[in-house]
Chains A and B, each alone.
Chain A
């Protein structure tokens, strides 16, 4: 079973600061990881797919990197609207056709 671990659980930063979020997979999943942003009371929004590709309409301050078991989401300079919870997600190699989400990292205002 694929398990995704995100760290830290909470990241307290100020607007304008750089945020670095980590996602680690329990098994190698190559480069096919996605990142989502969720604000309170809203549905998740796709930010990054295939580890490093920004989804449509996502600002350039969001970037993703990594492969294998270690992935990173970076927000280069936090805007007020970026304070939210971020989830990573992957489809496992085995069992196939099952999707897994990480537990999330909350980015809150320091």
Chain B
């Protein structure tokens, strides 16, 4: 069965750090591009970061310089290192598998999400 399981969320202080994990089952994270997408309470979806199979990484401007996406192929796990946390980082963080049809891109598998709350 193909699924993603995020862990690591919690209540953090402003300026703190946190690492989220996303364990994959049924496929290799190194064979797909993988992303983090977040959703603030009552709001829409916001793309955060992507790591491609070749290792290149990209981050949204809102998190650039503070968040880092990485993976451990041996553990088949994707990570999001979050530093200098701000109140506006409060959200449910989803891990998602990228699907490329050769034409367009979509996220075909999503984890259940992990909540990050940043208090001031």
Contact = CB atoms under 8 A, between A and B. Distances in A.
Chain B interface extent, by class: 20 to 34
B106 A89 contact: yes
A43 B110 contact: yes
A87 B45 CA distance: 8
A101 B35 CA distance: 13
Interface of B: 35, 37, 44-47, 50, 52, 56, 58, 60, 94, 99, 101, 103-108, 110-113
A100 B47 contact: yes
A50 interface: yes
Nearest to A89: B106
Contacts of B60: 98
A74 to B, nearest CB: 18
Nearest to B56: A97
Contacts, number: 74
Interface residues of A, number: 29
A32 B44 CA distance: 20
A91 B105 contact: yes
A49 B99 contact: yes
A73 interface: no
A45 interface: yes
Nearest to A6: B44
Nearest to A56: B108
Nearest to B102: A50
B104 A43 contact: no
B111 A32 contact: no
A101 B110 contact: no
Interface string A74-108: 00000000000001010100000111111110000
Contacts of B104: 30-34, 49-51, 91
Contact of A46 (B44, B107, B112): B107
A3 interface: no
Given A30-B104, A49-B104, A100-B47, 15 more contacts: A32-B104, A34-B106, A36-B45, A36-B107, A43-B94, A43-B110, A43-B112, A46-B110, A89-B106, A97-B58, A98-B58, A99-B105, A101-B37, A101-B44, A104-B45
